[in-house]
Amino acid sequence: MTEVDPLPLAGLTTLRTGAAPARMQEAHTRDELVTALRGIWADADEWFVLGGGSNLFVGDDVFDGTVVRVLTRGIERLPGERPGTVRVRVEAGHDWDALVAYTVEQGLAGIEAMSGIPGTVGAAPVQNIGAYGQDIAETLVEVELIDERTGEVSAVAATELALGFRTSVLKRHYGSVPERSAVILSVTLELADVGHGELPVRGEQLRQALGLEPGASVSLSWVRDHVLATRRRKGMVLDEADADTASAGSFFQNAIVSEQFARTLPPECPRWPMQPVIEPVRIIPLDRFDGYVPPPAVQSVPVKVSAAWLIEHAGIGKGYHLPRSRAAVSTKHALALTNRGGATADELAELARFIQQRVQQEFGLILQPEPVLIGVEL
């Protein structure tokens, strides 16, 4: 455990807001991380862990607690449990995109469409990161984590994390606490050992984004290079030279609404029906079976609607900013709020609230923020 002089969070988060917290620790090894967390929990101090700071929106007031920087590194290659697969066990502080580059180099498929997502491997399951139709839930086997309640380290199967659309039991959604307060120490993925040849590209969303015809075959490194170029055009990779990347990626989540509500939105608004929720198998004991098998009850199918479309059609175009504000909508992507240089968290929050109000007035729904908010109210 290394207690360090606290650094301003504006220098450690991609939205570039936040003062230096009261206390800061750096954990370079797993033991340091475990010791730091157990110490903080024993003292009942306020705390949060910081990876790459790319999904955090931190307020202007000093955070009166301890920020723990997760700086652990390392990839271990292990045999897969199924034929044709390989496992990688990766320390939480490892850079996500460096992991993707490694897997592509090794000819391992499963996360290449998520090239260029900023941040650390340990934060990736927290909101089940994803891009172009691929998410970490598809390859995540387990995480090793330490629970705040018990202080114990355990291996937890991916199925126990309730990974959903940009969510898991570990995520602190705006206005609530995580269902399970825990810190990930390492992540294990199972990837397909496909080598360096050309393969058909799975997934309509990825094919469309990369301009590929159905049935087109390309290599993993081709996918990675083209995903990176596509993301760069949208300001969705970190780049000091591009002011549009001083963001937290998508600031608002695509809204998930009922089928009935979706029908009230203009038909041009892009929407994607989600999986229907079907009742689990119902067992009817033989002595009570009267020959009638009830049909499975299908609840209404939730629909995901494009937040970017709602924002633009509420009159807020790319590059929009309030008068004299240094916070603006990205010039390349209507969902990203950006810090154009020296913007305070208050300025960014003011813009976020304005967008929420405009969308609510036009379409009757309140967009929810995707990043984790600390010391900021919307």
Ligand X SMILES: Cc1cc2nc3c(=O)[nH]c(=O)nc-3n(C[C@H](O)[C@H](O)[C@H](O)COP(=O)(O)OP(=O)(O)OC[C@H]3O[C@@H](n4cnc5c(N)ncnc54)[C@H](O)[C@@H]3O)c2cc1C
Contact residues toward ligand X (CB under 6 A) are 14, 48-56, 70, 92, 117-120, 122-124, 126-127, 129-131, 170, 172, 183-184, 236, 238, 245, 247-249, 372
Catalytic-residue membership of 23 = no
Distance between CA atoms of residues 94 and 88, nearest Å: 12
Contact yes or no for 321/327 (Cβ under 8 A): yes
Do residues 271 and 255 make contact, with C-beta atoms less than 8 angstroms apart? Answer: no
- Nearer residue to ligand X within complex by CB, 49 or 223: 49
Main-chain dihedrals φ then ψ at residue 190, nearest 5 degrees: -115, 120
DSSP of 25-57, one letter per residue?
Answer: EEE-SHHHHHHHHHHHHHTT--EEEESSSSSEE
Neighbours of 318 (CB within 10 A): 18
Nearer to ligand X, 174 or 354 (CB): 174
Least Cβ distance, residue 127 to ligand X (angstroms): 5
Output the smallest distance, CB 224 to ligand X, in A. Answer: 14
Distance of closest approach, residue 165 Cβ to ligand X, in angstroms: 10
**Least separation in angstroms between CB 28 and ligand X:** 14
Cβ proximity to ligand X: between 184 and 327 the closer is: 184
Four-CA torsion 216, 220, 221, 224, nearest 10 degrees = 90
Residue 320, beta-bridge partner list: none
Least distance to ligand X, CB of residue 351, Å? 16
To ligand X, the closest distance from the beta carbon of 122 in angstroms equals 3
Instruction: Tell me how long the chain is.
Output: 378
Nearer to ligand X, 77 or 332 (CB): 332
Q: Where does 234-319 have alpha helices with state H?
A: 259-263, 307-313
Tell the smallest beta-carbon distance from residue 214 to ligand X (Å).
24
Nearer to ligand X (CB atom), residue 182 or residue 265: 182
Alpha-helical runs (H) found in 268-372:
307-313, 345-363
Task: Name the residue nearer to ligand X (CB basis): 181 or 221.
Answer: 181
Comparing CB distances to ligand X, the nearer of 30 and 358 is 30
* Distant-in-sequence, close-in-space partners of 337: CB < 8 Å, separation ≥ 6: 15, 247, 248, 251, 327, 328, 329, 330, 348, 351, 352, 355
For strands 303-305 and 271-273, give the pairing. antiparallel
User: CA dist 12 to 56, 80, 183, 246, 289, Å?
Assistant: 10, 36, 19, 11, 63
166 is catalytic: yes
Out of 54, 247, 250, 330, the active site residue is 250
Q: How far apart are CA 176 and CA 182, in angstroms?
A: 15
DSSP one-letter code for 164: B
Q: Active-site residue 288, yes or no?
A: no
Residues with catalytic function: 166, 250, 370
